[in-house]
Structure 1
């Protein structure tokens, strides 16, 4: 642990990036398994509720580091970065392969650039604009190819992950601009503290706590999957991600979506999911767009003659 703390931000951000890729890449298959015994409403609310309990147990004291005027941004971050996306992804996986959803999730860095410009007035480079255009083309192809491949995949469900990723993208900028001076654990615990009441209300509304539901074997198995997703994929991962945003920049922190589809595809193949050639190509185009949007301009090294003139 001491060695990790001693690392500089350049080393630590890559460790966080890989860890988050593995964890979040596995989250899509856990959602899929959870839907075998839970409704999307139950799954989204339970995921938030269990993660909230876990985080309050380990970090309730960290709430004291949040100032009164910062709670409004904590609430905005909570709903955009956690609450609404949890339901959107659950509903999406009713009709779409988990691996395909993970590819649509990889549009976060591209949307981060778009909303950074539209809302936060952050200027974009030509390469970033090119990346956004390529990623948009890939997303359109992926959604349309999925609809053609399987008629049961409702086109509306394919857009739900894009709505969720738009929220993620905006949330990254909110954390970076308004919550930068708050410890990552405090941000995460604060967000889930805000969400505990609405998550409980949704569970009550969705009849989760009924004896018939809780005694069902399929429900109990699904709860096990969502418990893993809540503690590791939501609780711990959110702390790591919030810290990653703080020690890097919005584009790098959302680049975790580079590796997430690789992990998700591996799980999808093991689970027997089928993919069309055009879907794979479309996914590749999206990742190419993400790469273009994140690629830094190379700094030209001065020649010996130029150095001598200096």
Structure 2
């Protein structure tokens, strides 16, 4: 008789943890969805890698005062420097170098498709690197359905770009960026308990941002800081959202039982939020039937994915 309430309590606790994880994942994705407008504003006044470098360096600096025990910073650098370097390399340096370069080579519609397809690449990378996160056929089908929704949202007349070689190169670079992000996610997930999420995020972003900025000086002319308020507002917002969203994401990746592929599926809602924000904030953007259908398809894919996961947990 006593076993029934114990099992029920464990099951209820698991459900509450899952719901909280999903809620926080949605918050992180909502923050990321605002980044595209901020990047577009900032790049009117400076070069891509410089802007990215300053953004992530400031994001890391913002987090340092939030580290509860300052000794954690020293201990993390002393005992886990190479782990921090690996995560910073894949999660900030390589990812955003390739991201900005790829976006500059392809039309916006194609860039949106490849950026939106990151959950697929995260699932593939995680299935190759982690034994407990295999890519099953139902997962593959639901992820593919989500990517179909991304394609519809991103559909645009720019799709018929004639510069095929440049476009193919850009696509390849964006695929490499998605793979880098997936590898970074796996490294974060693997180090559960070694470094507190806020400490890890502060160190990897400040290091990655500094390397991006210094590296940019060899390829891009230094634009200085004599810019209008719009630049600094966009930089401040991007730095804040990076610090907040990545801290949430790192915390979720380190939770027991959270798989990289399951968490990254929520990134499908980034283009949904991004499109809605564009319709609300930009006067030239209006809702269209095809993107709305794409949003509905993504919603269905998320429901299906969670249904598949629920069945697996019950088993």
TM-score between the two structures when normalised by the length of structure 2? 0.74
Q: Distance in 2 between matches of 1:47 and 1:140?
A: 29
Match of 1:88 among 98, 103, 114: 98
Q: Which runs of 5+ in 2 are unaligned?
A: 1-14
Is the contact made by 1:147 and 1:155 (CA closer than 8 Å) also made in structure 2?
Answer: no
The equivalent of 1:32 in structure 2 is: 40
Q: Distance in 2 between matches of 1:51 and 1:187?
A: 12
The equivalent of 1:304 in structure 2 is: none
Match of 1:43 among 22, 40, 51: 51
The CA deviation at 1:92 is 4.3
For the pair 1:72 / 2:82, whether they are aligned, the reply is: yes
Instruction: Tell me how large the CA RMSD over aligned residues is.
Output: 3.7
The CA deviation at 1:20 is 0.8
- After superposition, the C-alpha distances for 1:185-213 in whole angstroms (9 at most, x for unaligned) are 121122134325413413543333x5xx4
Q: Which structure 2 residues correspond to residues 118-133 of structure 1 after superposition, within 5 A?
A: 118-121=128-131, 122-133=133-144
Q: Distance in 2 between matches of 1:222 and 1:163?
A: 29
- After superposition, the C-alpha distances for 1:97-118 in whole angstroms (9 at most, x for unaligned) are 3x87455333232222211222
The equivalent of 1:221 in structure 2 is: 230
Is the contact made by 1:92 and 1:161 (CA closer than 8 Å) also made in structure 2?
Answer: yes
Q: Which structure 2 residues correspond to residues 33-182 of structure 1 after superposition, within 5 A?
A: 33-59=41-67, 61-66=71-76, 68-94=78-104, 96-97=107-108, 101-121=111-131, 122-134=133-145, 147-149=158-160, 155-156=167-168, 157-182=170-195
Is the contact made by 1:116 and 1:170 (CA closer than 8 Å) also made in structure 2?
Answer: yes
For the pair 1:244 / 2:257, whether they are aligned, the reply is: no
Q: 1:43 to 1:284 in 2, by over 3 A?
A: farther
- Name the SS of the counterpart of 1:215 in structure 2: coil
Q: 1:134 to 1:56 in 2, by over 3 A?
A: same
The CA deviation at 1:286 is 6.7
The CA deviation at 1:178 is 2.8
Is the contact made by 1:102 and 1:264 (CA closer than 8 Å) also made in structure 2?
Answer: no
Q: Distance in 2 between matches of 1:10 and 1:138?
A: 25
Q: Which runs of 5+ in 1 are unaligned?
A: 1-6, 302-310
The farther-off stretch of 252-261 and 24-33 is 252-261
Q: Distance in 1 between matches of 2:157 and 2:126?
A: 29
Q: Distance in 1 between matches of 2:148 and 2:22?
A: 29
- After superposition, the C-alpha distances for 1:132-189 in whole angstroms (9 at most, x for unaligned) are 5556667788889765345589624355443322222222211111344421112112
For the pair 1:261 / 2:271, whether they are aligned, the reply is: yes
Is the contact made by 1:63 and 1:189 (CA closer than 8 Å) also made in structure 2?
Answer: no
Instruction: State the number of aligned residues.
Output: 288
Q: 1:117 to 1:196 in 2, by over 3 A?
A: closer
Q: 1:216 to 1:117 in 2, by over 3 A?
A: closer
Match of 1:22 among 27, 30, 55: 30
TM-score between the two structures when normalised by the length of structure 1? 0.75
